[in-house]
Amino acid sequence: MLDLATALELDGDRPRMSVDFVLPDGVVYLDGNSLGAMPVQARERARRVVEEEWAVGLIRSWNEADWVSLARQVGDRIGRLVGAQPGTVIACDSTSVNLYKAAGSAMSHADGPRVILTDSANFPSDLYVLGSIASARGWELRTVRPERVVDALADGVGVLAVTQVDYRSGRRHDMEAVTRRASELGVVTVWDLAHSAGAFDVQLDVCGVDYAVGCGYKFLNGGPGAPAFIYVSAGRQAEMSNPITGWFGHARPFDFDPEFRPAEGIDRMRVGTSHVLSLSVLDAALDTFDVVDREEVWLRGAGLVSHLLDGFDALGLDVITPRDPAERGSQASFRHPLSYAIVQALIDRGVIGDFRTPDVARFGVAPLYSSHRDIAIALAQLSDVLANEDLDAHAVSRGEVT
C-alpha cells in the first residue's frame, strides 16, 4: 500500500501536474468525477465577465467580448481533448438535453430496426432520456448487461446509446471495438463521455463515433452546472437533425424569421441563448489543459488509480473497478455494506469521496490536480476508519441504518 514517504518521492517537486487550482488546506479531494475543483483562471474569468463584460459592456459584449461565438470556441477546445476535428463539437445545454438531441438525430437516419440499445449500468438520467424519446417515437428501448452490448448489436438494433465509463464501477467500454462492430452492422452510435472527457485519452474521430455528448463540470472543471457539449461527426453533419428547434439553431438567428431554417454544421445542434457566465468559466477552466503534456497527464491519472486499487486490495475490500487501465475510467470503487458510513467518516477526516447506492464507495482521480500524496493520505485514513470507527453508529447518526 502506498505510504506517505514514497508518495512524496513520486510527486517530487510537482505534486500536481498543474498547481493552478483552488483547493482547501487539509482536504484530499477525490470527487472530481462529480464536481471538478476550481481552477484559478476560472475564478478570475468569472470576475472579469461579471464586473467588466456584463457590468460595463452590457449588451455590447455580445460582439466586443465575442460572447456570440463562445459556444463554438469552447466546443473546439473540448474537441481537442476528445479527438474531434474543429467544427464537430459545440458547448451548450445540459448532458441530458444534448443526449435527447443526439439520440433524436441518430434515430431520424438510422436504417436498422426501431430499437435503441443501451446497457443496464447506464446513468439513470440517460435511461430516462432514452426511454422518453423512444416512447415518443414508437421505438423500443432495449437494455442489456454491459458485457453483452457487442453481442446484442446483432439482434436488430438501429441506434446504440451507451456511456463509456460506468459511473459506479468505473468499468470502461472499448469505444473503438464497440463502434467498429456497430458500424459493420449499420448501427448509429451515441456515446456519453461524462466520465471520460478530461480524464483520459478519447479519440472520437479515430474510433468512427457518430454522436457523443458530455458534461463540463466533472473532469473539465467548469464549475457546478457548467454547460455540456455535443459532438456530431463530420460525416453525419449533412443529415443531422435537431429534435429541439430553437433560434440559435437557425441559419440566420438574428433575422428573426418566423419559419425555421436549420443552420449549417454543428450550430444546427444549438437551441437557445448561450449561458455566457458559466460558458466563460468553462472556457477559462480549459486553459489548464493547455499548459501540461496531456499524454503525461493521462498516464499519471492511470497510475494514481492503480495505487488506490492496490491499497483497496491490501485492505481486503471488494473492489469492483477493473485493474487494467484500458478497461476503466479515472476512478476506483469498492463495495461494502457500510459504504455510506465509510465515506462519511472519511469526509469528516478531510478525505472527500462519494457514495452511490446501494453499497458503492467511489473515489475519482482528477489527473490535473490529484497527487500521490492525496492517495497515500486517503488510504491511511481509510485503513484507520476500517479499523477504528464505529461504522454502524456512524451510519445510524445519518439515518442510513434502522
Q: DSSP letters of 198-243?
A: TTS---HHHHT-SEEEE-SSSTT---TT---EEEE-GGGTTT---S
Could you give all domains of the chain from N- to C-terminal order, each with its CATH number?
Answer: 4-17+293-396 (3.90.1150.10), 44-290 (3.40.640.10)
| Residue tagged 434515430 (cell numbers) | 107
pLDDT at 8: 85
Give the DSSP letter string of 278-336: HHHHHHHHGGGGGGS-HHHHHHHHHHHHHHHHHHHHHTT-EE-S-SSGGGB-SEEEEE-
Name the percent of the chain lying above pLDDT 70: 96
SS3 content of the chain, % helix, strand, coil (to 5): 45, 15, 40
> Which set of grid coordinates corresponds to residue 370?
490529484
pLDDT given for residue 20 in this prediction: 85
At residue 374, the pLDDT reads: 96
Q: Which of 16, 236, 349, 362 is catalytic?
A: 362
Residue 398 C-alpha cell reads as 445519518
pLDDT computed for residue 322 by the predictor: 98
Q: Which one is catalytic: 31, 126, 166, 192? A: 192
Q: What mean pLDDT value characterizes the chain?
A: 94
HSE-CB at 121 with a 13 A cutoff on CA atoms is 18
**pLDDT of 252 above 70:** yes
Is the per-residue pLDDT at 399 higher than 80?
no
| Spatial CA neighbour of 320 closest among 143, 166, 147 | 166
Q: Which of 21, 123, 231, 248 is catalytic?
A: 123
**Bigger pLDDT: 248 or 399?**
248
pLDDT reported for residue 175:
98
Which candidate in 218, 268, 270, 300 is catalytic?
218
The single residue of 217, 248, 363, 369 carrying the catalytic annotation is 217
Residues 86-98 have a mean pLDDT of 98
Which grid coordinates are listed for 189? Answer: 452510435
Q: Is there a catalytic annotation at residue 362?
A: yes
Per-residue pLDDT averaged across 89-114, rounded? 95
pTM of the full structure: 0.95
**Which of 131-140, 368-377, 382-391 comes out lowest in average pLDDT?**
382-391
Buried b or exposed e, range 120-131, using 16+ CB within 10 angstroms: ebbbeebbebbe
CA distances 282 to 40, 194, 262, Å, are 12, 15, 27
Alpha carbon 44 to its chain centroid, in Å, reads 24
Q: Is the pLDDT of residue 240 over 90?
A: yes
Residues 162, 178: contact at Cβ < 8 Å?
yes
Active-site residue flag, 31: no
User: Residue 402's pLDDT is what?
Assistant: 31
pLDDT computed for residue 401 by the predictor? 39
User: What's the rounded mean pLDDT across residues 233-260?
Assistant: 96
Q: Confirm whether 123 is a catalytic residue.
A: yes
Lowest mean pLDDT, pick from 78-87, 220-229, 268-277, 388-397: 388-397
Q: How far is CA 118 from the centre of its chain?
A: 18
Q: Quick one: average pLDDT of 318-339? A: 97
Query: Residue range 172-192: average pLDDT?
Result: 97
Active site residue 218: yes
Which of the four pLDDT bands, split at 50, 70 and 90, describes residue 18? Answer: low
